[in-house]
């Protein structure tokens, strides 16, 4: 089996991933190696294929060619729910919560998943004390206790974003893919979000897509730059900062963007 | 505490009323009540898909029909089959049908689900007509005797007596409704609502949406089957137009809308109101359809939350009034 070729300290490896939308190639020969217990950032301009890469890794799309190894196992073609049960979590670029349900009910769904309570038809959910307690504890941890009974759709954008992240983290994944968790946030909110990410992802492996370079450089152990669906460079933050190709393709633009 | 007390009072009144019904109602009224209860359970089972999972089924009558035919075919072919297992056979037939269709049905939602269920229901109609040597086709099967039930201590209970059958049927219907309500309150029930709101997120939390939908479909079909089974026994006949015709195909949906989507008990109110309307109009059956449709239009336009919204509104208003009274009383005490 190829399984043996994947070093044990890599939680995720991709080999030669290609993905197309119709005729158009959006991912070209993607090779990723994510070290267990590290935070790995993926940066790149709009439309570079970052979200598509997440969708491919998590099994929403099946790659046209290439292999994906998660925890040393070939998981190419696995469905998102199966990968989630194996410990692969994911948050969304556009908030994707249960808008009509309360913040508590939202988070409780994730706690049920964490405790592997899936096909339980024989108990009142409200009477399972441990689930309620754990959900409330998590709400306090993320600072949403006051919004416990508010429908998620009525949360302020910043708090909704926080719930979005928490839905992924409350399941207790080993590896989590965060798609622009701080998108659309103010300076202050972004700062809080970074702290929350740091807190919630302690000891876990993380892949994070982010446009905000301050966030990237303060969180990431390694960085991969994606450009037109191809990997331009992968390296430590300082290596990426000094990489001329990256500067030309992306960092320059971002700095211009920040200055404007 | 006070709320709890009120709740128990309401329950006592409902149960007491259902218990007393055969003593105070005539045979006709009792039959109307039981007919309503049967369609209420049928509507509740549809509502499990509609309100809780967000799936619109146009073909739910096929499960109702499967229950009715399942029970009657076994009853007329195997003499001496006891009554309770006969209902079980009805449920099993409906669940069997749901299992057969689920590989296709669980992969779709929205319009596709509505159209697929409608198509399957049509196929069932055609099949029942085609197999007329078994199903009796248009004429159906009728004139069978409902088996007696022997209960220890009580002795043999003759189900040919209206009132005995009423007690038997209403108990099964009530119990079924309670089990369904319980089902919505379990951990799985919350996942069901999650699927309605955001199936993709449910998937990413690690729940299998197709498998969950298959289970919900079986539960919903099973209770529709129970309703169909009791309906056939109650009518003492089963015919293709009786269980697969427009009445059984559309009235549960209409009942859900009249009662109010999004709540568990809405369809019970909807069925009750539907029955009352039909009975009021029974002298003019030609106009009944028209009046019914007008009521439906009025509700969709002016009361989109259904009749149940009237209760919620009244309840909130009453709460406000009570708060107001308490505030005044409290203030006066302070000033005095
Ligand atoms: N479902 C889809 N069907 C067809 N084309 C798509 C689809 N999803 C994305 N694309 C296209 O694929 C390209 C990559 O999109 P993707 O969303 O992966 O970019 P991204 O790097 O996440 O960008 P952003 O920073 O704006 O989120 C884009 O040109 C986009 O228009
Ligand atoms: Mg994106």
Domain interval for residue B46: 2-245
CB pairs under 8 A between A and B: 84
> Which residue is listed with tokens 């198509």?
B119
Give how many domains chain B has, as a whole number.
1
Segment A69-97 shows an average pLDDT of 96
Model ipTM value: 0.93
pLDDT under 50 in chain B at which residues?
334-336
Sign of the alpha-carbon dihedral angle for B153, B154, B158, B159: negative
For residue A45, the ligand 1 atom closest to its alpha carbon is: 25
Q: What is the pLDDT of residue B296?
A: 85
Q: What is the pLDDT of residue B171?
A: 94
Q: Whose CA is nearest to atom 14 of ligand 1?
A: A49
Q: What are phi and psi of A63, to 5 degrees?
A: -65, 150
Chain A contact probe: residue of B51, B206, B219, B222 with most A CBs at under 10 A: B206
Contact B226, B126 (CB under 8 A): no
Q: How many CB atoms lie within 10 A of CB B38?
A: 26
Cβ within 8 Å, pair A84-B204: yes
Residues B64, B240: Cα–Cα separation, whole Å: 11
Q: What is the tens place of the pLDDT at every residue in A86-144?
A: 999 999 999 999 999 999 999 999 999 999 999 999 999 999 999 999 999 999 999 99
Residues B175, B214: Cα–Cα separation, whole Å: 23
For residue A49, the ligand 1 atom closest to its alpha carbon is: 18
Q: What is the tens place of the pLDDT at every residue in A232-258?
A: 999 999 999 888 888 777 765 554 444
Residues B292, A17: Cα–Cα separation, whole Å: 59
Asked if residue B279 belongs to a domain, the reply is no
Asked if residue B228 belongs to a domain, the reply is yes
Q: What is the tens place of the pLDDT at every residue in A162-199?
A: 999 999 999 999 999 999 999 999 999 999 999 999 99
Cβ within 8 Å, pair B206-A105: no
Contact B137, B129 (CB under 8 A): yes
Q: Which residue of B has its CA nearest to A94?
A: B201
Residues B9, A143: Cα–Cα separation, whole Å: 41
* Nearest alpha-carbon partner for A49 in A67, A31, A26, A25: A26
Ligand nearest to the CA of A26: 1
Asked if residue B335 belongs to a domain, the reply is no
SS3 A16: strand
Ligand nearest to the CA of A228: 1
Asked if residue B57 belongs to a domain, the reply is yes
**Chain A closest CA to B200's CA: distance in Å?**
8
For residue A50, the ligand 1 atom closest to its alpha carbon is: 21
Asked if residue B308 belongs to a domain, the reply is no
A105 touches ligand 1 (CB under 6 Å):
no
Q: What is the pLDDT of residue B123?
A: 95
Share above pLDDT 90 across residues of chain A, in percent, rounded to a whole number = 87
Chain CA centroid to CA B69, Å: 18
Helices B110-130 & B61-77 angle (0-180, nearest 10):
30
Asked if residue B136 belongs to a domain, the reply is yes
* Nearest alpha-carbon partner for B117 in B69, B73, B195, B65: B65
Residues A177, A173: Cα–Cα separation, whole Å: 10
Residues A177, A111: Cα–Cα separation, whole Å: 18
SS3 A24: strand
Cβ within 8 Å, pair B185-A124: yes
Q: Whose CA is nearest to atom 8 of ligand 1?
A: A52
Q: How many residues in chain B?
A: 336
Q: What is the pLDDT of residue B261?
A: 87
Query: Token pair of B241, please?
Result: 């137009």
């Amino acid at each position: 089996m190829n399984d043996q070729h994947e070093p044990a300290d890599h939680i995720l490896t991709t080999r030669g991933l290609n993905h197309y939308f119709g005729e158009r190639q959006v991912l070209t020969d993607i090779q990723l190696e994510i070290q267990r217990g590290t935070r790995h950032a993926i940066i790149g301009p709009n439309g570079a294929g970052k979200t598509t890469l997440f969708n491919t890794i998590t099994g929403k799309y099946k790659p046209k060619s290439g292999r994906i190894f998660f925890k040393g196992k070939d998981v190419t073609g696995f469905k998102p729910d199966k990968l989630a049960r194996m410990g692969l979590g994911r948050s969304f670029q556009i908030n994707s919560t249960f808008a009509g349900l309360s913040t508590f009910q939202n988070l409780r769904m994730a706690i049920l998943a964490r405790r592997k309570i899936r096909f339980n038809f024989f108990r009142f959910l409200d009477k399972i004390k441990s689930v309620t307690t754990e959900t409330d504890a998590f709400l306090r941890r993320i600072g949403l206790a006051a919004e416990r009974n508010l429908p998620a759709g009525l949360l302020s954008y910043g708090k909704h974003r926080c719930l979005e992240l928490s839905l992924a983290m409350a399941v207790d994944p080993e590896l989590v893919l965060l798609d622009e968790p701080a998108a659309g946030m103010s300076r202050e909110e972004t700062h809080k979000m970074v702290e929350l990410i740091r807190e919630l992802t302690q000891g876990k492996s993380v892949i994070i897509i982010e446009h905000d370079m301050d966030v990237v450089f303060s969180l990431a152990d390694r960085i991969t730059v994606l450009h037109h669906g191809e990997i331009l460079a992968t390296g430590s933050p300082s290596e990426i900062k000094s990489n001329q190709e990256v500067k030309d393709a992306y960092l320059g633009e971002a700095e211009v963007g920040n200055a404007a | 505490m006070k709320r709890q007390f009120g709740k128990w009072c309401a329950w006592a009144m409902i149960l007491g009323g259902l218990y007393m019904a055969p003593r105070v109602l005539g045979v006709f009224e009792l039959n109307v009540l039981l007919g309503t209860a049967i369609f209420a359970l049928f509507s509740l089972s549809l509502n499990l898909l509609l309100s809780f999972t967000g799936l619109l089924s146009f073909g739910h009558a096929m499960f109702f029909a499967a229950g009715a035919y399942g029970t009657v075919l076994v009853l007329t072919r195997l003499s001496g089959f006891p009554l309770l297992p006969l209902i079980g056979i009805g449920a099993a037939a409906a669940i069997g049908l749901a299992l057969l269709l689920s590989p296709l049905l669980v992969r779709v939602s929205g319009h596709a689900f509505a159209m697929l269920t409608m198509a399957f229901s049509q196929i069932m109609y055609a099949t029942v007509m085609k197999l007329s040597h078994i199903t009796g086709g248009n004429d159906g099967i009728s004139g069978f005797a409902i088996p007696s039930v022997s209960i220890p201590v009580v002795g043999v209970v003759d189900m040919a007596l209206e009132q005995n059958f009423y007690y038997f049927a209403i108990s099964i219907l009530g119990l079924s409704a309670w089990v369904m309500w319980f089902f919505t309150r379990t951990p799985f029930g919350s996942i069901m609502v999650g699927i309605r709101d955001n199936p993709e997120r449910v998937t990413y939390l690690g729940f299998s949406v197709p498998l969950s939908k298959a289970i919900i479909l079986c539960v919903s079909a099973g209770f529709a089957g129970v309703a169909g089974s009791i309906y056939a026994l109650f009518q003492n006949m089963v015919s293709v137009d009786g269980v697969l015709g427009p009445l059984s195909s559309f009235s549960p949906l209409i009942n859900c809308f009249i009662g109010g989507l999004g709540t568990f008990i809405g369809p019970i109110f909807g069925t009750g109101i539907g029955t009352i309307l039909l009975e009021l109009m029974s002298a003019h059956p030609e106009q009944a359809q028209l009046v019914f449709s007008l009521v439906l239009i009025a509700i969709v336009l002016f009361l989109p939350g259904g009749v149940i919204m009237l209760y919620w509104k009244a309840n909130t208003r009453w709460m406000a009034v009570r708060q107001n009274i308490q505030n005044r009383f409290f203030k006066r005490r302070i000033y005095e």
